[in-house]
Amino acid sequence: MKILVTGGAGFIGSHVCDILLEQNHQITVVDNLSHGHKNLLNPAVNFIQADLLDQSKIEDTLHGHDAVIHMASFIEVGESVKKAVEFSENNIVGTVKLLEAMRKAAVKKIIFSSSACVYGRPKKLPITEEDILGEQENPYGLTKVSMEQFCILYNKLYNFDVSILRYFNPYGPNELHTPETHAIPNFIKAVLEKKSIPLYWKGNQIRDFIYIDDLAFAHTLPLSQSGLHIYNVGTQTGTEVIDVVKKIFEIVGYEVPIEDKGERKGDVPSLVASSEKIKQQFGWQAKVDLDEGLRKTIEFFKSLKS
């Protein structure tokens, strides 16, 4: 298939592109490089630097493609609170313009990169796809809900084939966000630099950490599907954040101080996925456990220093 990947020069997108190439798909990446890194891309990828808000350029690029994997969005939760307008324009308006460009270019298959944040503060665990979407506590979460709803609307109005993947907590090599707001890369970088680790809630939050290769592979599964589908993508295992810190200490062989940052508004105590639906339909399940994933991630960040 000929597949266009938005945000393909980012952390998750670059891994998705590698797997798609291994499966012999033809890949076009559209990325404005505001957060992406072109050097993460395999040279076999056709790269176009463009913004989703430039609808006419996206439409021209889309002609001849069979599907879109949509991963381009602003993701920093804290920044979204400060920049609600920018997040809404980039994430929501950018998605609507992409969908309109797809409609005009007659490309009617989209796999959308969503987030577990759409569930808000869950009333039960593990979270299933049938659980209601919760009240949002930050603009980022609200943009993801809106982006999902527009994809679903285009399924209803124009018979788009839509698959929505709700991630939990991905980690792994190539995570180079600026600023970096995700826990694991921040922990690893602090430990390697022998600086203190900033820790909220004393690390008692429970999260479902999924290694990037497992998550990236899940994006390829719905390419053969038609209709509307929603999947959680997680390990189905909850881990306390403090236990992740301890595992990192164990792997590197030393400890650094922990800086108690207190509480943080917008955090939920626990997020753990039920991924039974994607397992039943595709046989997918996470293969890389936390110990192996952390070792690979630590090696990546070590390699940046050499």
Catalytic residues: 140
Which CB contacts under 8 angstroms, 24+ apart, belong to 29-35? 29/4, 29/5, 30/4, 30/5, 30/6, 30/58, 30/61, 30/72, 31/6, 31/7, 31/72, 32/72, 33/9, 35/10, 35/74, 35/75, 35/177, 35/178
Whole-angstrom Cα distance, residue 50 to residue 27? Answer: 15
For 117, list phi and psi in degrees, rounded to 5.
-65, -20
Q: Tell me if 261 sits within 8 A of 78, measured CB to CB.
A: no
**Crossing angle of the two packed helices 290-303 and 183-192, in degrees rounded to 10:** 50
Angle, nearest 10°, between helix axes 139-158 and 94-105? 20
HSE-up of residue 276 (Cα within 13 Å, Cβ side) = 6
DSSP, res 90: I
Token reading at 16: 């998705």
C-alpha–C-alpha distance, residues 246 and 253, integer Å: 10
CA atoms of 114 and 278, how far apart (whole Å) = 15
Query: In terms of DSSP H, where are the helices of the chain?
Result: 11-22, 55-62, 77-82, 84-87, 94-105, 139-158, 183-192, 212-218, 241-252, 276-282, 290-303
Polymer length of the chain: 306
Cα–Cα distance for residue pair 92/151, rounded to 1 Å? 11
